[in-house]
């Protein structure tokens, strides 16, 4: 959210999670991605705006979908609770994103891969935390 501000003032290089995601999506020729995350993450739009700079359209769930995912994250996943019925609800949100044109879905919350990973509804799921960590490792190994 404050990446541009902080990176312009940092004495060390910083790696943007949004830019790292955009690179992974571009590599896979994804032009429209659905986003899942907390209500705060989705409403603040830093993913949507950041991906747009890379020519990638980001779709967020309906208001009801945002509420469903947010509730599952905060009432269950952060406590280590994983329920099949919650997985089904999140998959419904993913299905809606796919029906609206999402070619893939980004899991923009570290807890979501506890519930869904790999593929769902015929689309690849991108774990932003893993993508970010790999980008940081690649950078560290190249220096």
Instruction: Give the pLDDT confidence of 21-40 residue by residue, as tens digits.
Output: 999 999 999 999 999 999 99
Q: Considering the domain boundaries, does residue 101 fall inside one?
A: yes
Q: How many domains does the chain have?
A: 1
Q: Considering the domain boundaries, does residue 13 fall inside one?
A: no
What is the pTM for the complete model shown? 0.90
Arithmetic mean of pLDDT, 81-88? 96
Q: Considering the domain boundaries, does residue 8 fall inside one?
A: no
The domain in which residue 109 lies consists of: 21-142
Q: Please say if the pLDDT value at position 8 is more than 80.
A: no
Q: Considering the domain boundaries, does residue 124 fall inside one?
A: yes
DSSP states along 36-99: E--HHHHHH-HHHHHHHTTT-EEE---HHHHHHHHHHHHHTGGGT---HHHHHHHHHHHHHHHH
């Amino acid at each position: 959210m404050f990446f541009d501000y902080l990176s312009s003032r940092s004495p060390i290089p910083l790696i943007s999670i949004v830019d790292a995601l955009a690179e992974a999506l571009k590599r896979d020729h994804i032009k429209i991605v659905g986003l899942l995350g907390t209500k705060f993450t989705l409403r603040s739009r830093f993913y949507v705006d950041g991906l747009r700079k890379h020519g990638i359209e980001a779709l967020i769930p309906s208001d009801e979908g945002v509420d469903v995912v947010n509730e599952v994250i905060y009432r269950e996943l952060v406590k280590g609770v994983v329920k099949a019925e919650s997985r089904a609800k999140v998959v419904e949100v993913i299905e809606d994103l796919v029906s609206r044109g999402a070619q893939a879905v980004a899991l923009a919350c570290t807890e979501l891969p506890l519930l869904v990973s790999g593929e769902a509804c015929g689309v690849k799921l991108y774990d932003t935390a893993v993508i970010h960590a790999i980008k940081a490792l690649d950078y560290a190994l190249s220096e």
